[in-house]
Structure formats: structure tokens, C-alpha cells
Amino acid sequence: MCGRYTLHTKSQKLASSIAKLLPEQYEPSYNISPGTNILTQTKESLTCMQWGLRTPQNFHINARLESADTTPRFRESWEAYRCLIPANGFYEWLSDGIRKQPYYIYPAHAELVYFAGLWMPATKLEEVPQCVILTTCAQERIKRIHDRMPVLLPESAHQKWLDNYLTKSEANAYSQKIEITDHPVSNRVNSTHNNDNKLILPTTLLTDDQLQLF
């Protein structure tokens, strides 16, 4: 799954990289959480959408790539409403049965990475569209941390994805080839109230801000 990520590139640099004008609502963040409005690129525009689809039973922040085209709540979006979600990296938690250690996972040779996503148009004028991040099997490097990860797409696949032509197998193949790396980070990331560049710095038990208290 993907439940927290970062997009901390400054506005001017990000706009230049994406080659599109950023919406006024964009703010760099080291701790993006579900339920917030996030930067999302569709076939038509670069806009902000709410991360997460609310249904009477659940709040869905992810959709499995393997079944997105057949699951009733995502099937229409798979066919007509695909999106890209720019990020610098994402967090995942390794559980040893006693505690959960957060890790920061990010592209090894690039500043930005793009998650494949699906979006759902707003049903009321005052609402914003909602989106979810697609997930797939984790690369071998990070399977020790978690068995799932966001679907990662290189720039060469962006237009084909947005045009609804990229298949599930193609998307997964692209995702497995993007080289990523990781390191443990402070437990401060657990709280969404914390949002600073220290969250993505490598940590050990001796340097973790919280554990220094003991």
C-alpha cells in the first residue's frame, strides 16, 4: 500500500520539470497524508484532488493494479479517468512484531517519480475530484519492508497511461524497472503534524529524535 508520501520540490522548479503551470493550492510537503488535496495530472490538466475515495463502507486510498479494471468502484476510472501523481518518494513501515520502523523509499537517480492513479469526477459543484494511488507487487529491494508499492511510471509511459492505452502488465513492467533506494527515517513521520526536511533524513536508533530521550 501507499499511505504517506512526499512532494517537496519548490514550485518554480516543479513547474519547470512538469512543464505545466501549477495550481495556486500547491504547497511542498514532506508528509502528505490521505484525505488532503494533492497535485494530480490528468490528460486535460494539472490540478489538485482529494487523495481518497469515500464510500458508505470505506475510505479507499489505494487500488490494486491487478484488479482495478474489474472492481466495480474503479472500473470506470480505469477506462476513462487515469492520472499521474508526482512525488519525490514515499514512506513505508517495517514491522518486526514489536514496533514499526518507517522507511523512506525514493528514486535512486532522479528527483521526481510519478505514481499511476485513478480519479473520480466530483458529483457536486462545491466538491473536488477524488483520486487513489495504484499499487503493485514491491520490487525485490523493498520486499523486506512491505510486499506492495505504488505503481511507478517513467516519463516515456506518461502519455500512453493518460490516454488509457497502457495495459496492466505494461504498467507493472515499467514499475519494476525504475531503480529505487531506501533508508530508515525518524518515527516523527508517524504524526502528520510533523512536516519538515528532517523527516526524510537517514536515521538509526542513536539518531532518531524520539529515541534520544531514553
Boundaries of every domain in the chain: 5-213
pLDDT in tens, 179-208: 999 999 999 999 999 999 999 999 985 555
C-alpha to C-alpha distance for 188 and 104, rounded to whole angstroms: 12
Q: What percent of the chain has pLDDT over 90?
A: 85
CATH class of the domain at 5-213: alpha beta
Q: What is the pLDDT of residues 131-150, one digit of tens each?
A: 999 999 999 999 999 999 99
pLDDT, tens digit, 9 for 90 and up, residues 148-178: 999 999 999 999 999 999 999 999 999 999 9
Q: What does the pLDDT look like over 119-131, one tens digit per residue?
A: 999 988 778 999 9
| pLDDT value, residue 212 | 43
Q: 66 pLDDT exceeds 80?
A: yes
Q: pTM for this one?
A: 0.93
Selecting among 48, 92, 127, 179, the annotated active-site residue is 92
Identify whether 92 is a catalytic site residue: yes
28 contacts: CB under 8 Å, gap ≥ 6 = 7, 8, 9, 10, 11, 14
For position 2, what pLDDT does the model report? Answer: 84
